Each structure stands twice: as structure tokens, then as C-alpha cells.
A and B are shown apart, each in its own frame.
Chain A
Amino acid sequence: AQTVTQSQPEMSVQEAETVTLSCTYDTSENNYYLFWYKQPPSRQMILVIRQEAYKQQNATENRFSVNFQKAAKSFSLKISDSQLGDTAMYFCAFMKQRNSGGSNYKLTFGKGTLLTVNP
């Protein structure tokens, strides 16, 4: 079974600064995807960024980027130029291919990191 660990229950950062959220995972799979989801206080889960395990290049989406270390099974999220609207719970999630012939995937989530951006 896959596990996802987020070791930082809470973090805070000053507006305009950079913050990095940690995530490690455990799997025996070789083909999988990793995600960071954001859940603001309104509770709508929003996709932040996605990384394919077969890609060596780290994914980036505007102010959000990841540091994917496949051998170390590490997948951290860096938020640059933090904004007040970035305040939310951030979840790291893992998705493996359920079977070789299909495309049905199951998301396994970490427990989340509550990020607060201070003015």
C-alpha cells in the first residue's frame, strides 16, 4: 500500500516571501503521479500542480514549483512571492495505476499542512 507523509502540520510565511512544504511517500510502483492540492477555508479542493514520475523535469505553475526527487521519494512544493490568498490547507497526494490495462486511478492523500500567509 502507498503512504504519503507530510511532516509539517502547520507553517507560516510573510507575504511576498518564499515557503517550501515537504512531502515524502512510499511506494513500490515505478509509474505514478504526484499532486499538490490546495483546500482554502471554503473547503473546495483545488489542484495546484501535478508531476509525472517518468519526467525528470520539475513541474512549475506560475509561483508554484516542485522539487521531485524520485530516488529519495520526496516531493516538496515551493511557493514564491506568497500571497494572502495562498492561506489554505495543502495536501500532497499520490496516484498509481490500478492495473496495467486500465486507467483507473486512486488518490492517496497525506494529512495536510496548514499554511498561513501573514501580512
Chain B
Amino acid sequence: EAGVAQSPRYKIIEKRQSVAFWCNPISGHATLYWYQQILGQGPKLLIQFQNNGVVDDSQLPKDRFSAERLKGVDSTLKIQPAKLEDSAVYLCASSFNRANTDTQYFGPGTRLTVL
């Protein structure tokens, strides 16, 4: 079974530029998550999708971050404009959303460096 795919793996941009990350979840997984992991910290949830609807985006900085999951499969996360403090690893995860077994499986992440 293929895992969660993410691209690119690394991205370096200057502040005020825009960047987009892509995620393809495990086939059949209805729930998709984007996490931000700042160096030395645990991941923090940015947004959660159930199929193509948003379940939780309470910690998403909506003035600069946006995300979509068209057709309930792939998802993109965009930052516009980027700030220095956005430097982090962005992790995508997915889960089957079956009651009592909602384990999340993670992709390899995208390491973003904002200069």
C-alpha cells in the first residue's frame, strides 16, 4: 500500500514570496491533516479536512495561509506572503476515519526555509 506522498521535499524562498505544498493521501482515506512542525517542537495541527470539507482550521493563520482539497483526494497548502517564522516542516497526514481506529499516517514532510 502506498503511503502519504508530499512534494516538494525541500523549498527555500525569500520572505514575502509565495509557496505551495502538495499532498496525496493514502487511497481511501477520507480525512486529511496538515501540520506545522517548528524545529524542536511537536507538530501542530493547521487544518483538517473530511473529504473536501474543512473540519477544523482554528489554528490556521488565515491572513496568509490557505488550503484546499478539491474532489476529496489531493490537497494543497499555500502561504502568501511568507514570513521568517513560517520556516518549518509541513507534514501531511491521512486517516481512514473509521470509528475507533482513526490512526493518522504521515507523509515525509516538506521542509520550508524562509530567508
Instruction: Mark A residues whose CB is within 8 Å of B.
Output: 4, 33, 35, 37, 42-47, 50, 52, 91, 93, 95, 98, 103-107, 109-112
Q: Is B104 a contact partner of A107 (Cβ separation < 8 A)?
A: yes
Other than the given A93-B42, A104-B55, 4 more pairs (CB < 8 A) read A105-B95, A106-B48, A109-B43, A111-B41
Query: A-side binding surface: helix, strand, loop or mixed?
Result: strand
Q: How far is the CA of A33 from the CA of B42 in the complex (A)?
A: 17
Q: Which 4 A-B pairs have the closest CB atoms?
A: A109-B42, A45-B106, A103-B99, A105-B102
Are the CB atoms of A44 and B56 closer together than 8 Å? no
Interface residues of B, Cβ cutoff 8 Å to A? 31, 33, 40-45, 48, 50, 55-56, 89, 91, 93, 95, 97-100, 102-109, 111
B97, closest chain A residue (CB): A103
Tell whether, in the assembled complex, residue B106 and residue A44 are in contact, meaning their CB atoms are under 8 Å apart: yes
Residue of chain B at shortest CB distance from A52:
B100
Task: Give 6 CB contacts A-B under 8 Å.
Answer: A44-B106, A45-B43, A91-B42, A103-B97, A104-B56, A112-B42
